[in-house]
Structure 1
């Protein structure tokens, strides 16, 4: 739906993680399918991610963001700090997939969230892409996409849990087969950028920022 009732929907900060395994040989990305009843992107295959919560800004990182990535995240800044964005990304991955980017807890306190078992670790995250949902949608997000290797997960990448309430059909999708899935346009843009960037999982030289502040989209580089 475009225009009308959805024009004044506020834009929320959000964070997403593109987790890649076998980057040098046969790259795969972790994706799941949103429910058909979801308000935002129903039925679409997406990377794990979601909106930044107010509490994310109060959670301490166990390991910091890469310096270059943190600096880029401060450009065209919004209310969410770089650290809050990283925490949100890590929390969403855990909530939707059961996987953790974590520094293992050794004091028995349970970590940042109940059952997380440690502090969120941002050292493997690389700021890779940014996009604002176009006007006219029922939900709008200013999404920062982080790139991370599966090797940085604290758990076995093959130990995929039961589907969460938000994502089903959670699986490692070969990059060569992603185009056969039902994905959103922004996901296609991210995947095209990823294909150019691999096999490197380092921070890119420039981060594309797709700004959809109006009905036309502009790309700037961070």
Structure 2
């Protein structure tokens, strides 16, 4: 009698954050994308927005400013995401963007820090002999997506958008994200993009338009695989 092979345990779902930096060039929307390294186990050689996993240190770093009103209100309606975690996710998006692209969203830290920055934040918080702190005030929470099952890594990712004018520093590639480029959503469609990145680029112009961008009552799309096995989207 043949026995069934044991089922693999489900992959743990880790909290993550992504930052969509955008700008307008001659009136045309452009976003910052980079190519993930070929050695990466999660979506290698695809073009994505900067981002990564939420770290414990992201709870410990003191920001230069709070979340803006719209983002705080949108998170207040989100499932299992309290205000402390909401802020930590925004700070994770800022940290990952700096690590992967060299761009920093920061403000003076004279009133934000007591002592040394938490582990993992030292390089971000030190620039030209000044102490800086991450500034999430320009970040708008625009969507959420959970990686489908059967992937080598699974993340519960929150997507933020921020104008490129809020960032400082010189754009540079990293080991995790190379071939950085400012590109329109239409031109990006010719790249190798994960499905969620394609969806975000399709919806982004509407999310960035006024009054939607600063509307605290706007529902946040939540993309996930339903119990039926079909992809679905609900509003939070």
TM-score band w.r.t. shorter chain: 0.7 to 0.9
1:102 aligns with 2:106: yes
Long gaps (5+) in structure 1: none
Q: Which moved more, 1:188-197 or 1:90-99?
A: 188-197
Greater C-alpha Rg: 2
1:45 aligns with 2:39: no
Of residues 68, 74, 79 in structure 1, which corresponds to 2:70? 68
Contact 2:17 2:51 survives alignment (8 Å): yes
Q: Is the alpha carbon distance of 1:23 and 1:85 closer, same or farther for their aligned partners in structure 2, counting shifts above 3 Å?
A: farther
2:71 counterpart SS class: helix
1:115 aligns with 2:123: yes
Of residues 69, 89, 93 in structure 2, which corresponds to 1:89? 93
Contact 2:48 2:193 survives alignment (8 Å): yes
Mapped partners of 2:80, 2:26: distance in 1 = 33
Contact 2:52 2:92 survives alignment (8 Å): yes
CA RMSD of aligned residues (A): 2.4
Of residues 188, 213, 219 in structure 2, which corresponds to 1:206? 219
Name the count of aligned residue pairs: 214
Contact 1:22 1:28 survives alignment (8 Å): yes
What does residue 146 of structure 2 align with?
A: 132
Q: Is the alpha carbon distance of 1:89 and 1:34 closer, same or farther for their aligned partners in structure 2, counting shifts above 3 Å?
A: same
What does residue 172 of structure 1 align with?
A: 182
Long gaps (5+) in structure 2: 1-6, 127-131
Mapped partners of 1:77, 1:12: distance in 2 = 13
Mapped partners of 2:87, 2:25: distance in 1 = 26
- What is the TM-score when the length of structure 2 is the normalising length? 0.82
How far apart are 1:175 and its partner, in Å? 2.5
Q: Which moved more, 1:63-72 or 1:74-83?
A: 74-83
Of residues 50, 55, 58 in structure 1, which corresponds to 2:57? 55
Q: Is the alpha carbon distance of 1:133 and 1:91 closer, same or farther for their aligned partners in structure 2, counting shifts above 3 Å?
A: same
How far apart are 1:189 and its partner, in Å? 0.8
Mapped partners of 1:13, 1:78: distance in 2 = 10
